[in-house]
Amino acid sequence: MISDHIIITGGRALARSFAKINLTLDVLNKREDGYHNVEMIMQTVSLFDLVLVDKTGGGIGITTNLRFLPCNEKNLAYAAAREFFKAAGIDGGCKIMIHKNIPVAAGLAGGSGNAAAVLCALNMLYNTGFSAQQLCDIGLKLGADVPYCILGGTYLAEGIGEKLSPLPPMPKCSILMVKPPINISTAAIYEKIDSEYIPGRPDTESMQRAIASGDTPAVASHLSNVMSTVTESMHPIVRGIKEKMLKNGALGAEMSGSGPTVFGIFPDYASAKRSHDSFAYQFKDVYITAPVN
């Protein structure tokens, strides 16, 4: 649970709000409501934003270290606080400060993670006693990835991403993440996917077996994301990063979410670090992380 990563001191909560990667991502079909049914294995990784939440007498305030992020209800963290107070029936308030480390619009669910952190922090600060399931129900109103971000760890996500089944923890490894400086519209990628004709769908069951047996090379060899073909055709740099990671000794490499972040699973920290250093010449957003469970 993300609440395990929140420290409370008086009326203040300090939360670590982690990024996620998709070990697998399959798009099954489009629903009548416009959403897509998906099947994905999600993993929390150790790259995090810091989210500070102070209890106040009323109103919601928000500041971040990135000038281009909205500081109103368009910020998912702000919307989370509003939904929380509505669900709790409390006339409360809070001041939220977010220090972003997770690149924005990168396929890492950074915004959803911030919303999850705020929901859990307010639940603790206001002693509301919402269960994990109740928090997930509130979170789903904010976005399909928010319930997963509330739970964190290794999960199979189905439906629009909200039907969550826990999996054994991903085996320990070093995960290198590289985000090229391009902007991806998730909606545009979904539009280009014809879920009836997807070549090479992930083998989600084999990935679950690889995770259960703690077999890192098998996990790496089953990484798969049906969105990567679409994103790579528009942005060949994504494929280039994957290929370079594999040349650098990654056991496997794949794109997360709709991209553009690419991650590679390395057998040890030293090889991840060597690859990190070779990418750091070219890109600003390069991180060595590990699974968080």
Cis peptide before 166 (omega within 30 of 0): no
By CB under 6 A, which span of 67-75, 87-95, 224-232, 267-275 interacts with ligand ATP? Answer: 67-75
User: What residues between 79 and 98 interact with ligand ATP by CB under 6 A?
Assistant: 98
Applying CB under 6 A, among 47, 83, 84, 110 the residue interacting with ligand ATP is 110
CA geometry: angle 27, 29, 35, nearest 5 deg: 90
Interatomic CA distance for residues 6 and 117, integer angstroms: 8
For ligand ATP (CB under 6 A), the number of binding residues is 19
CB of 215 to ligand ATP, least distance (A): 27
Is 285 among the residues that bind ligand ATP (CB under 6 A)?
A: no
Nearer to ligand ATP, 128 or 231 (CB): 231
- Judged by CB under 6 A, the chain residues 240 through 269 that form the site for ligand ATP are 257
Q: Which is nearer to ligand ATP, 8 or 160 (CB)?
A: 160
Contact yes or no for 203/193 (Cβ under 8 A): no
The residues in 146-205 that bind ligand ATP, with binding defined as CB under 6 A, are: 186
Q: How many CB atoms lie within 10 A of CB 133?
A: 10
Closest CA to 39 of 22, 55, 52: 22
Q: Is 111 in the site for ligand ATP (CB under 6 A)?
A: yes
CB nearer ligand ATP, residue 51 or residue 210: 51
The only residue of 24, 44, 75, 275 in contact with ligand ATP, by rule CB under 6 A: 75
Residue 180: exposure state from Cβ atoms within 10 A (0-12, 13-18, ≥19):
buried
Q: How far is the CB of 250 from ligand ATP (least distance, A)?
A: 21
Asked if residue 50 lies in contact with residue 16, where contact means CB atoms within 8 angstroms, the answer is: yes
Instruction: Tell me which stretch binds ligand ATP (CB under 6 A): 101-109, 191-199, 207-215, 280-288.
Output: 101-109
- When binding is defined by CB under 6 A, the residue of 145, 232, 254, 285 that contacts ligand ATP is 145
Least separation, in Å, of the C-beta of 220 and ligand ATP? 21
CA distances from 279 to 75, 96, 229, 236, 250 (A): 31, 34, 22, 16, 13
Rank residues 142 and 251 by Cβ distance to ligand ATP and give the closer one.
142
Which residues are identified as catalytic?
Answer: 20, 145
Considering only 3, 44, 114, 216, the residue that binds ligand ATP (CB under 6 A) is 114
Q: Which two tokens stand for residue 257?
A: 């979410």
Instruction: Give 92 or 107: the residue with its C-beta nearer to ligand ATP.
Output: 107
Taking the least distance from each CB to ligand ATP, the nearer of 163 and 273 is: 163
- What are the residues binding ligand ATP (CB under 6 A)? 69-70, 75-77, 98, 104-112, 114, 145, 186, 257
